[in-house]
Amino acid sequence: MRTLLPVAAGRGTVACAATPVPRRSLLLSTAAAGAALQPEQVAGTRPLRLTRSVASAVAKPRTSADEAISWAKKDNRRLLHVVYRVGDLDKTIKFYTECLGMKLLRKRDIPEEKYSNAFLGYGPEESHFVVELTYNYGVDKYDIGEGFGHFGIAVEDVAKTVELIRAKAGKVIREAGPVKGGETVIAFVEDPDGYKFEIIERPGTPEPLCQVMLRVGDLDRAISFYEKACGMELLRKRDSPEYKYTVAMMGYGPEDKDAVLELTYNYGVTEYAKGNAYAQDRGGGEAVRRPGGAGAGALARDQHQDHSHPGP
């Protein structure tokens, strides 16, 4: 049986938890990604607004910050799906299936809440990172903002993939070729809503939907947040002074096998316009909230509750 801790979620959230039996999920605010995560926040001493269903959990003794962080690193976690809003659900599904080669895994309509969503990916949700597209009734356009960068898709042959996308009337915004300062062949395409996809030549990967790139205003603080709150590992960090940016790859496993977050810091830029289109990343784990412990200042919930609200 799933344990639900329903809470109201704001715009631009990042979920990180892991694949459970039974499945549970954890939702964290990205506001903390741009600010330092203080030890007392990890320990859960900051008051949290909880429903009656978790009143008993409040009375239980809290674990220390070090214990909570240690537990998070041992929990079996992975990124589950990324949620964002689109203006024409059927048109976007067509692009993702015909141009990007994804499969429509499931689709549902929630008329009482005035939204529909669809899950697409390269394999079952139980074992693959997938996209969750959300269409809010009557809303045909969103502001993507500046904080969201792009998704990454690993393919056998970038050039052939680009030609297929072009043949299907897709928009190619960067032709196939080596990445700046490296040898990896990449290209960039854009979906009907303006979301960018980096096509990466990486044969044999078990997870084609391989990364989500987000821009951050303070890279070290963002890294600290994802390590402490989400239990991710810093896989690698690269500074490119000639292009005035630094990137950090964060995740629960190696880049060639698991989906990861690519955090990008552009020299001198500390804030980005968030927009109202990109919603959240979500992860799953064996246990969202450790019995008697604190979930890094976050609350668990099983279903999204803010699909129809772009945020304040």
More confident residue, 119 or 24: 119
pLDDT of residue 77: 86
- Annotated binding-site residue numbers for Zn(2+): 132, 150, 198
pLDDT above 60: residue 166: yes
Residue positions annotated with a catalytic role? 198
DSSP per-residue codes, the chain: ----------SSEE---B--SS-EEEEEEGGGGGS---HHHHTT-S-----GGGHHHHHSPPPPHHHHHHHHHHS--EEEEEEEE-S-HHHHHHHHHHTS--EEEEEEEEGGGTEEEEEEESS-TTTS-EEEEEEETT-------SSEEEEEEEES-HHHHHHHHHHTTPEEEEEEEEPTTS--EEEEEE-TTS-EEEEEE-TT-S-SEEEEEEE-S-HHHHHHHHHHTT--EEEEEEEETTTTEEEEEEESS-TTTS-EEEEEEETT-------SSEEEEEEEES-SS-TTS--TT-EE-SS-S-TT----
pLDDT tens-digit series, residues 41-94 = 444 434 434 444 444 444 556 667 777 666 656 667 889 999 999 999 999 999
Q: What domains appear along the chain, each with residue ranges and CATH number?
A: 74-276 (3.10.180.10)
pLDDT tens-digit series, residues 262-303 = 999 999 999 999 888 886 555 555 443 333 222 222 222 222
pTM: 0.71
pLDDT of residue 274: 85
Average pLDDT over the chain, rounded to an integer: 77
pLDDT above 60: residue 186: yes
pLDDT tens-digit series, residues 8-20 = 333 333 444 444 4
